[in-house]
Amino acid sequence: MDVHADTIEKLRTRTSEKWSVYPPDVLPLFVAEMDYPLAQPIADALHAAISRSDTGYGGTVHGDLAPAFTRFAQRRWGWDVQPEWVSSTTDVSVVIVESLRLAIAPGDGVIITPPIYSPFFDLIPEAGGQVVEVPLVDDGASWTLDLDGIEAALVSGARAVLLCNPHNPLGHVHPADQLARLAELAAEYDATVISDEIHAPLTHPGATFTPFLSVSDAARQHGIAAHSASKAWNLAGLKCALFVTASQRMHDLLERLPEEVHFRTSLLGRIASAAAFTDGDRWLDGAIASIHSNSELLAQLLHDRLPEVGYRPPAASYLAWLDLRALGWGDDPAARILESGRVALNAGLDFGPQGAGHVRLNFACSPEMLTAAIDRIVGAASSR
């Protein structure tokens, strides 16, 4: 099925952050929300819940959510997950923080690989850890994990790795051999890997997502994965995410979580997520097709109108990492684009010092809006 973005008039009736932070003359291509209408199976499940006044506490009984996810994981990635080793909470950030609280002692180092999802810099201290930056290796054509740097940080005492797979903001899908080596390092130094895999369902045609816990026994013994339907089906406001383990060792670790961590799961989020994982494949495939088409459109627009801008099409999700350093707009070109072009993008510096001169652009919108946004950036460039 084809999935097309709502009209700008309809989108401006939304009250989420994306559509409420800026005035109407700004095109919002920043926060990771999609402009597509809700998948019908999810809408039907939510309408049914409202009709039966099913708006109470989610509680700790996960119903059909865990089995729905495990079937989805097998269907999409060939990954066998045991439902009893899947549990829920409010969002992936909570999965990360609560997992780290159990995996590290106060003051321990936690490795991240910038440029990376900006909240990682705050989630680690929230969990009691210290951020240890081991940037990705960028050869100008692709990115890779700096496994030697990660090992050096583990030797120096870091106790965990917070992995982003697929990697936000780059849309990079880490290959299985690098994940396997990361798992070996975790085993060798008795560290824990928390793998944020929220963008995994949005992997593009021709790319292969590898769940971290699937690569080896070492990964299963030392890893926890964070999953959610929220990014792939635009359900962030419904507050539901999953802890996923694949060994008795890590399952037992998460058994130490306070019951409240699971109890706070939104009931509507649980209902919507189960519907997404069970009946949302057709909609998801249509959304991915539209996203992939927009990625190609963006590449063409930049080639034709802003050839100085560096862009490597992502292998997953709907976020573009754009290198604007050649335009001479300083470390924060997003500020100029907002002021002169009235397009809201994420500042690259939010993702680490490697983001100087970069922006993150959300292209899960209509082709018309994407084209208009690039036209405005071209206008800002011509007004130098």
Average pLDDT, the chain: 97
Q: Kindly state the average pLDDT of the residues 19-25.
A: 96
Name the DSSP class of 139: -
Match domain 8-31+281-382 to its CATH number in 3.30.70.3270, 2.60.40.420, 3.90.1150.10, 3.40.190.10: 3.90.1150.10
Angle between helices 281-305 and 267-279 (to 10 degrees): 80
- Give residue 28's pLDDT: 98
Q: Per residue in 129-149, pLDDT tens? A: 999 999 999 999 899 999 999
SS3 of residue 172 by DSSP: strand
pLDDT level of residue 2 (50, 70, 90 thresholds): confident
Cα–Cα distance for residue pair 375/364, rounded to 1 Å: 17
**Percent of the chain beyond pLDDT 70?**
99
Amino acid identity at 301: L
Q: Kindly state the average pLDDT of the residues 35-54.
A: 98
Cα–Cα distance for residue pair 329/228, rounded to 1 Å: 36
Name the DSSP class of 308: T
Q: Kindly state the average pLDDT of the residues 190-217.
A: 98
Cα–Cα distance for residue pair 131/129, rounded to 1 Å: 7
Q: Kindly state the average pLDDT of the residues 97-110.
A: 98
Structurally, at CATH architecture level, domain 55-279 sits in 3-Layer(aba) Sandwich (3.40)
Cα–Cα distance for residue pair 195/172, rounded to 1 Å: 14
- Give residue 278's pLDDT: 98
**Percent of the chain beyond pLDDT 90?**
96
Q: Per residue in 212-233, pLDDT tens? A: 999 999 999 999 999 999 999 9
Largest CA distance in the chain: 60
Angle CA 360–361–366, to nearest 5: 170
Going from N- to C-terminal start, the domains of the chain cover 8-31+281-382, 55-279
